[in-house]
Amino acid sequence: MNVLQAIKRKLKEKYDAIDNRKFKENLLNALPFWVGAFATGVVAVGYAKLFAFAESGTAYLFHRASWLFFLVTPACFLLAWWVVKQYAPYSRGSGIPQVSAALELSNPKHSYNVSVLLSLRVAIVKIISSLIMVFGGGVVGREGPTIQISASIFKQINDWLPAWYPKISKRNMIVTGAAAGLASAFNTPLGGIVFAIEELTKTHFSFFKSALLTGVIIAGLTALTFLGPYLYLGYPPLDRIPPSIILLILPVAFFAGIVGSSMGTILLFVFKKKASLKKEYQKYLYAIVCGLIVAMLGVLISSKTFGSGKEIMVATLFTNDKHLDWYIPLLRMIGPIVSFSNGAAGGIFAPALSLGASIGAVLAGWMHLSVTETNLIILCGMTGCLTGVTRSPFTCSILVLEMTNSHNIIFYIMLTALCANLVSNMVGRHSFYDSLKDQYIREIHKAEAQLSKPNLD
């Protein structure tokens, strides 16, 4: 009997030791994700406040002396581009293609190239350049940059782990960082998760679901702690919508999808032409000309040209004055093309959403729809246009639904996204982000090949 008790006691001690070891290992594996998520939430909130402050500075300057934009905008475009060129070339643009490229390169053979795309230097330059751009009236957003910034934070934490620490997948850290960044930027946790699955990775969800969920939750809760409960847009009235509205939604979805995908196609064409500028003074001149174009559009035609366009979404969804002139969508399309092609930092998420909102508002005005019908058409325009740019219909659907807490229109929004995605694939096979991702990877491989060439001198 004593022998049996001794055996039981030893077995119990053995299993307790195994449980303690597993608990310690799981805790060590989870800790970097928790720290990264908290840091992401804090940085995302600070960045959002600075971005809003810069946009308010634009509005203040416009109402005090709008003519100054003919000096300020070219100067800001030039400075924002120069900061990126000088200190972190891959901090330019949105940030989502860079994260996708980093994931593709995050293997043992090319992992050292990931630091070119994701690092604290890249994150800092990203913030500085985009703030300069938006203060000067640049038509850029902060959401795509927040994704690259957050992925950089997670990647840096992974790099800081000591040699004795349990091995943590850099790929999983980057994916979780990007998802947490989107969740904290829009306050859309489901959108962050769907974005990670649909846009960033083909890895089976079960391999990183716990890390992804906790990262999104902690980053979102951190943002809520500082900002309080909020929606990116708000609660637009969407009651008493007739079923016949679907006859209007379908053409809006197709049109918005074509416009969004066409904007991406035009941007890629402009990038290709810009690459032919070999001389340094031509690149400086290009940045100045881009600034002058945006300044002229904003000062001489409409101030709605400037900024991310969030005020357009808020005004058309939450005020009685839903009217927009027919040319506003055209301005909201030209503005991002000129601003984004400048080569400075800044996202296209919010500009694409505002372009879709302006399309929806103009079309609804022409059809003399009611307030609730107009709101639905505006949200469908936003969904369709963003889908046209990203080719991520489920992510776009979830983002728009979470930003407005409008779950009663879920089927209309998803139908819009699927239709917009269908027509976008007819415009071009590859999305704007995928094309840029491939471009970044080619650039990195080309630079790598040049460095590996033997010096014959």
Domains of the chain, CATH where assigned: 31-227 (1.10.3080.10), 243-440 (1.10.3080.10)
**Distance between CA 386 and CA 381 in Å, rounded?**
8
Sole residue written with tokens 């859309």: 188
Write out the chain's pLDDT in tens, 457 residues.
Answer: 565 566 556 655 555 555 566 767 777 788 888 888 889 989 998 999 999 999 999 999 999 999 999 999 999 999 999 999 999 999 998 888 999 899 888 776 666 788 889 999 999 999 999 999 999 999 999 988 999 999 999 999 998 988 888 888 888 888 888 888 888 887 777 777 777 776 666 554 445 555 555 666 566 667 666 666 555 666 787 878 888 888 999 999 999 999 999 999 999 999 999 988 888 889 999 999 999 999 999 999 999 999 998 899 999 998 888 889 999 999 999 999 999 999 999 989 899 999 999 999 999 999 989 889 999 999 999 999 999 999 888 888 888 888 888 878 888 898 999 999 999 988 877 888 888 988 988 888 887 777 666 554 4
**Distance between CA 172 and CA 427 in Å, rounded?**
33
Residue 93 gets which letter from DSSP? Answer: B
Q: Identify the sign of the CA torsion 331, 333, 336, 340.
A: negative
The vertex-389 CA angle with 138 and 305, nearest 5°, equals 25
Among 94, 170, 126, CA closest to 432: 94
Question: Which of left, alpha, beta for 228 (phi over 0: left; psi -120 to 50: alpha)?
Answer: left
**Distance between CA 222 and CA 29 in Å, rounded?**
20
Helix residue ranges per DSSP H, 319-456:
328-341, 349-366, 371-390, 393-404, 410-427, 432-452
pLDDT confidence of residue 138: 94
Where does residue 315 rank: exposed (0-12), middle (13-18), buried (19+ CB within 10 A)?
middle
Identity at 367, one-letter amino acid code = M
Residue 441 in tokens = 């990877």
Where does residue 327 rank: exposed (0-12), middle (13-18), buried (19+ CB within 10 A)?
middle
* Strand, coil or helix: 141: strand
* Strand, coil or helix: 347: strand
Q: What's the number of CA atoms in the CB half-sphere (13 Å) around residue 157?
A: 27
Identity at 294, one-letter amino acid code = V
> What is this structure's pTM?
0.88
- Paired residues of 93 in beta bridges: 345
* Strand, coil or helix: 345: strand
CB atoms within 10 A of CB 158: 23
**Distance between CA 265 and CA 455 in Å, rounded?**
39
Contact 43, 51 (CB under 8 A): no
Helix residue ranges per DSSP H, 164-279:
170-186, 189-195, 209-227, 246-274
Contact 166, 22 (CB under 8 A): no
